[in-house]
Structure 1
């Protein structure tokens, strides 16, 4: 089970279920009825719209010949990955506001918004519009933006 879990960590268990059903040439509707579940429930799970419950996990594991709890563990890892993705999204400014052209000389998707804050703030203060500057203030805070701006003025001798 360890190899299976490691292989599919973070993937919705419904996608794995869909793959297994295709591999075994099982239809969702008849399978759902044989498990005493609604076909819509199984369909929603395979589309990633619904999670696997403990009760259904036991039934699916048995039918698929998996170790007991496999589908539920996959569901837990999926939920953990979903939460991590939410947290990572919160670790960046709203990228729909910042124009990629401001960072023309770097890979926009690889910018580390936390550690490269000085460069990011300087760049946006120099070339950004008011919406982009406001997004920096929202994300980094007024104090940090002011501090970077003041240090930039001191070092260059000119106003940015």
Structure 2
């Protein structure tokens, strides 16, 4: 199997292993026993429930005729991608600056502030007070806020906000 690692970046290596085993018409149990490794371990890896260890990845590389470290590199890419997603989800403004009534219908901690920026900005500028609006401007930047609400309405609202300060 010749792999271009670029197209597999961020995909759990177990899913790639599962695909490769099917392509070679190999069953998981005999494959696991040939490594030697527990059948449950290989099953969990191919279902994405368990990450690869360096030892298991080397055994898989050798059994499939891959360059040593290939599967572990895929594991590293997957782990990095998962961490980046976690950081993205955890990136949000100080939630204490917003009244809970603004987001009465959702858990503010579970909002994806990057993907859902349009409805968040719209809601804050429709219902928020000046402090909440300023927190959103500080978090997203004036350009992104202008993109969502329109440049004229943001400029006039910012002018009113600055006058009231």
Residues 97 and 18 (structure 1), Cα distance of their counterparts in 2 relative to 1, 3 Å cut: same
Alpha-carbon distance between aligned partners in 1 of 2:162 and 2:81, rounded to the nearest angstrom = 47
Residue of structure 2 equivalent to 1:105: none
The 5-angstrom pairing of residues 113-152 of structure 1 reads 120=121, 123-128=122-127, 140=135, 152=157
Give the length in aligned residue pairs: 132
Alpha-carbon distance between aligned partners in 2 of 1:51 and 1:35, rounded to the nearest angstrom = 17
Unaligned 5+ segments in structure 2 are 96-102, 109-113, 143-155
TM-score (normalizing by structure 1): 0.64
Residues 33 and 152 (structure 1), Cα distance of their counterparts in 2 relative to 1, 3 Å cut: same
Alpha-carbon distance between aligned partners in 2 of 1:157 and 1:52, rounded to the nearest angstrom = 55
Residue of structure 2 equivalent to 1:11: 11
Match of 1:111 among 117, 120, 126: 117
Unaligned 5+ segments in structure 1 are 99-107, 114-118
The 5-angstrom pairing of residues 60-139 of structure 1 reads 60-92=60-92, 96-97=106-107, 109=115, 111=117, 120=121, 123-128=122-127
Indicate whether 1:155 and 2:142 are aligned: no
Note the aligned Cα RMSD (angstroms): 4.1
Residue of structure 2 equivalent to 1:31: 31
